[in-house]
Structure 1
């Protein structure tokens, strides 16, 4: 099956999963989860097959901007789906599956860039990139959970119990998972920065300086939030603002310079 066909069918599957949640998101009985997860799993599998053929070529590994975004999206989609199979995360599903739809659409309509790597010759670089990807995916999940916590908290304060159905997690549980993800992601991000500084020769080169400085600032923000939550009990609006700020900085670090270089400058 061709990459185009795999991406097209994955797009349709993700659309079905998104629609099945949105159409009944506040219904007392909840969405048709069998339809949602069946479509989502089909989308995830096809997404993986298409992504594998795009990433791994005969000349090496193609880590273009679009492929990297698709890979991170796939990691987050898999993780949220697995969590949702065990615990209520109804607010996050349409966001995650909707973004997965956009990545598949981009794969179909945007030109594919080339950013070749040869990880078999640079194991330390592979370790650094693996840690960085996992850290980013986990921290974005923490941000999504922080938004869910904020929504549930606001509805409870307004005594709007109809908007907080049994398909949404209890506030305390959602908040606990948010900070577990935050701590895990912060540790992984710290390890990614450490491996990069130790094993990459061009760590302080001009081309990487923007990414490294922003990533380090994001790490400081996340580490400060973890300390503040453990020692000072930071939560609520303070935790949400710091989580979102750190995630935006990390997104700018990971994708900002590559977007300018591979998309904007490439068109000039």
Structure 2
């Protein structure tokens, strides 16, 4: 598994470097080669995750395993999207982040055993939460891409990356679709937690509940502002980033302190 993890890391890094090195090339990145590397990395990453999470009684849901799982979901989605939409400017970031999470998981092994198979409600809650987080993190990436396109359009520098940037309106449409789906999933995740879990406001969970609820409120306000008042551009980008940061703190903040810094 260590060699498999190194192979996944190498595939992601080579794909990221290959795409990044050709961003300013007049022909743009060579999609077939990078897509092959990325797809192979995604497949092997899934194998690595299955071994890391389900290799013993219970499920090892350590913070690095969860981060690696989220990274895999985002990488899979962005790799599939790359076949129909130019998003080469995002792929080096996505592949690079996945490579880092896989490498850290190899170098800093951790165990946080759970038995979610015994609690169907917990399975539903965790699944919804992971999909909501993955979808909203992809939204954040598209928001950053939207900001980049806006910046270059205003300064008439779009030609430098013309082959690597999709049309502005398409990115904006995808962004709001992702925000809508992610917010719906986050809503269902919170509702399932309040309905089926007894410790949403326990001392070790209250920060997650509060921060997730604040993130949900930010995304709901953003969508309402867009569809009701026509919010676009910079306010949308900033609000998306704020919501994503709150959700990241909710999902990983205390677990990072406990499992990585304190080793608990």
On whether the aligned pair clears a TM of 0.5, the verdict is yes
TM-superposition CA deviations, 1:215-268 (whole Å, max 9, x none): 00000000000000000011111001100000000000000000011111128x
Q: Please state whether the residue corresponding to 1:206 is helix, strand or coil.
A: coil
Correspondence 1:194 to 2:191: yes
Aligned to 2:95: 97
Correspondence 1:72 to 2:54: no
Deviation at 1:166, TM superposition (A): 3.0
Correspondence 1:266 to 2:263: yes
Q: Please state whether the residue corresponding to 1:266 is helix, strand or coil.
A: coil
TM-superposition CA deviations, 1:43-78 (whole Å, max 9, x none): 111111111101003311110011000000000000
Q: Please state whether the residue corresponding to 1:207 is helix, strand or coil.
A: coil
Aligned to 1:137: 134
Q: Find the aligned partners of 1:19 and 1:10 in 2 and give their Cα distance.
A: 14
Give the counterpart of 1:87 among 85, 93, 101: 85
Aligned to 2:44: 46
Aligned to 1:172: 169
Please list every run of 5 or more consecutive structure 2 residues that lacks an aligned counterpart in the other structure: none
Deviation at 1:33, TM superposition (A): 1.1
Give the counterpart of 1:124 among 95, 116, 121: 121
Deviation at 1:160, TM superposition (A): 1.3
Q: Find the aligned partners of 1:191 and 1:184 in 2 and give their Cα distance.
A: 11
Give the counterpart of 2:154 among 151, 154, 157: 157
Say whether the 8 Å CA contact 2:23–2:161 is kept in structure 1.
Answer: no
TM-superposition CA deviations, 1:91-110 (whole Å, max 9, x none): 11001001011112112211
Runs of 4+ in structure 1 over 6 Å off: none
Q: Please state whether the residue corresponding to 1:57 is helix, strand or coil.
A: coil
Say whether the 8 Å CA contact 2:125–2:193 is kept in structure 1.
Answer: yes
Say whether the 8 Å CA contact 1:155–1:164 is kept in structure 2.
Answer: no
Matches within 5 A, 1:103-114: 103-110=101-108, 112-114=109-111
Aligned Cα RMSD in Å? 1.0
Say whether the 8 Å CA contact 2:61–2:113 is kept in structure 1.
Answer: yes
With normalisation by structure 1, the TM-score equals 0.96
Q: Find the aligned partners of 1:103 and 1:84 in 2 and give their Cα distance.
A: 21
Q: Identify which range, 156-165 or 56-65, moves more after superposition.
A: 156-165
Say whether the 8 Å CA contact 1:152–1:164 is kept in structure 2.
Answer: no
Correspondence 1:250 to 2:226: no
- Aligned residues between the structures: 264
Q: Please state whether the residue corresponding to 1:31 is helix, strand or coil.
A: coil
Aligned to 1:33: 31
Q: Please state whether the residue corresponding to 2:247 is helix, strand or coil.
A: helix
TM-superposition CA deviations, 1:158-188 (whole Å, max 9, x none): 1113124133110000011011101110010
Say whether the 8 Å CA contact 2:226–2:232 is kept in structure 1.
Answer: yes
Q: Find the aligned partners of 2:195 and 2:160 in 1 and give their Cα distance.
A: 49
